[in-house]
Structure 1
Amino acid sequence: MLRIHRIELSVYCHATEDLDKVVSSLLNLIPETIRERVKITKQSVKGYYGNIITIIKAVVSGNDAIETMKYIASKISDVEKSILRASLKARYDPRSNKIFFRFDKQELYRGRIVVSDSDDIVHVALSFKGKGGIDDVEKLLSEIGLI
């Protein structure tokens, strides 16, 4: 039986951006009741042109991961759900048993969850435990209301 195992969230903060606002964007994907248990890591790296980029990451596991996906499902619009449903196979990697989502960083700061294919995003990697393929992933995400 396939089940949600872990969520890895990451976002880039460029030198011109407010770090606290970017962290808020990431945290807006996690229920308030779970946020204080989530460890946020920050790593500074240099970009191609020598500019400082901070990589912000968070990991949510177990029941907190399930609750987080239900939270996202409750906040995302029907239009966004249909976009996810239509692109589900392209987002799924059977080798790693993960599905990948990209949500607009600016919209997240405003409290809206919007699917995006741009570069200014919060990246979400959802891993599963158990046997199953894309059909099982689709069924599970449908059951929690994400698609």
Structure 2
Amino acid sequence: MVQIGGGVEVPVSEDTGSRPVVSVPDAAAPAGLLVFDVVEGSGAVAQAGDAVAVQYAGFNWSNGKEFDASWNRGAQPFTVSPLGSAPVIQGWNDGLVGAKVGGRRLVVIPPELGYGASGAGGVIGPNETLVFVVDVVSVNGQK
């Protein structure tokens, strides 16, 4: 259970060896980028410029529905590189800095650091707050 503030809790499973189980609360979406280590890793720390391999699942705050997950593609890790300026949403570039290998991180991303007013691919609506659970597999190839 992760307390994200304002009395709002986001239940997130802690088993980094399996697909995350998440319950997005029925509450107003928080403002700003929120980052919480559900499980703090013990390996290398992700820093700007690194190549960070992750497993992830993404959910819409508005309805709690999963819209994407690396676990759905044979659990093949996805690499974010170079961290800080990778071709991913800015919330990932900002929210993964400081994560450690072996850890599970909850990242709540406001629309302005996600897909904004345009949404994405028909599965993420306009001005949607995103909830990601990210497991760090390796940093620069090191586990």
TM-score of the superposed pair, with normalisation by structure 1: 0.31
Greater relative contact order (CA < 8 Å, ≥ 6 in sequence): 1
Bigger radius of gyration: 1
Of Structure 1 and Structure 2, which has the larger fraction of its residues in helix? 1
TM-score of the superposed pair, with normalisation by structure 2: 0.31
